[in-house]
Amino acid sequence: MPSVHATTYSLLRRQGITTIFGNPGSNELPFLKGMPNDFQYVLGLHEGVVAGMADGYALSSGKPAFVNLHAAAGTGNAMGALTNAWYSHSPLVITAGQQARSMIGVESMLANVDAPQLPKPLVKWSYEPACAEDTPRALSQAIHSASLPPRGPVYVSIPHDDWERDAGEDAALLLERDVVHAGVPSAAQIEQLVKRLQSAARPVLVLGPDVDAQQANELAVALAERLKMPVWVAPSASRCPFPTRHPCFRGVLPAAIAGITEQLEGQDLIVVVGAPVFRYHKYAPGRYLPEGASLLHITSDADEAARAPMGEAYVGDVHAILTALLAQIEESDRKMPEPLPAPQRVQDADGQLAPANVFELLNKMAPEDAIYVKESTSTVEIFWERVEMRYPGSYFFPAAGGLGFGLPAALGVQLAKPERQVIGVIGDGSANYAITALWSAAQYRIPVVFIILKNGTYGALRGFARHMQVEDAPGLDVPAIDFCAVAQGYGVQALFADSQERLADALSKGLSMNEPLLIEVPTLQT
């Protein structure tokens, strides 16, 4: 009779999950014993990096990523990264080793007391099997739960003495299972949506990350062109759902109530697809909707629909709903929106580059299908203005604003998409949260080009300090970090680029390499 260990690996293989991201401890060793040759283990030196790599891999591949953490402490180390995975609907199957069953109750070292409670509320489902034989079934449930809309992380705690137990004859049934989701409004509801869209005089489309996650980008373009609508990306954008040089494109909405209302003034119908309504950040109170406007919300997340403070919501598969709408929507006789004007040129300083010029050069030199993993929070608006993104899956940003995402997520994205070049654009403050990811980059020769924008401060925090009138707060600066030396210490080649000429040379080298390169760029504060 097969063991829990053998059945689990068969289950993972059947589901196409053969990459394991982990940082092992004693509780995890029995699971890792005798790992089949067709599985790959990707080691991170900190559990936050492990979860970040898996997050990037899951987001880019669209498939569940398997994470193996060490008991309670390892889970705790990964919780910061888990905030981003939760808000980005990232399908992570997180396992954590548990003490032997007979040792849990006495709270021996490495016992995870009340293990299912620990990762909440940042997981869809959390469980510790009541007996060893239930472990394969629990992992099957975890995989399917992570994959069903709305996707998200799940957590299973597994006592280390479960792995060699018999799984039972019925465990083989798990290998034959598939769970398929299909959700689209009724014909009457689609007809109602079509009437609302066709009757609007000044509709606007607001797109969120789930459009990109469900590869509905082209459908969104077709809808915008059919109705000649301006298109905004929903605030706090963690993905790019619409080509940024399209004439309908208007940019990313500000993450503030008053700011959104101001930008959408004059529109009579706001159609939000694949995003919450809305992910606010900066406290700037005002009216939720412009005068005379109504809102339609199309989402795969029932919780997002329920908590929105305004509008009518339709919960279902975003791709299927857009497909159904396009089958009935007639072309509008309105004029197509005018493209946005080109942004103004800016000047560099001596030995410091303007972030806008870094992005202009990057846009010129990078492959047109490059994937950008962005974690320079003070330069988000400038980046969207200067960098063209036209393909699905071209942009990833920490969905909850949890720092430490960029370096490891870039590695996970590159592992998932080896045919596309991944470029990590990371702020110097952000980079330090997960700097050990550079070791994994070197060890596995993952050919990401990392660009560290070094301005010596927490730039986004300085902006909030001005907004909140607390500019005398301590701890806003992070000077005197030599990222080239740090990278080389972890085994990653590094170059210093304090001019556009040196940056161009460094990018040319990095884009031709089959291993990682870090480029440190001193930049002006924004």
Judge contact between 409 and 395, C-beta under 8 A.
Answer: no
Distance CA 43, CA 69 (A): 11
The residue type found at 135 is T
SS (H, E, C) 93-154: EEEEEECCHHHHCCCCCCCCCCHHHCCCCCCCEEECCCCHHHHHHHHHHHHHHHHCCCCCCE
Distance CA 175, CA 167 (A): 13
Helices (H) and strands (E) in the chain, counts: 20, 18
Distance CA 227, CA 452 (A): 41
Q: Catalytic residue numbers?
A: 25-26, 28, 47, 70, 281, 401
Tokens of 103: 């040792």
Judge contact between 284 and 310, C-beta under 8 A.
Answer: no
Cα Rg of the chain, angstroms: 24
Distance CA 89, CA 92 (A): 9
Judge contact between 284 and 257, C-beta under 8 A.
Answer: yes
Cα torsion 110, 114, 120, 126 to 10°: value is: 90
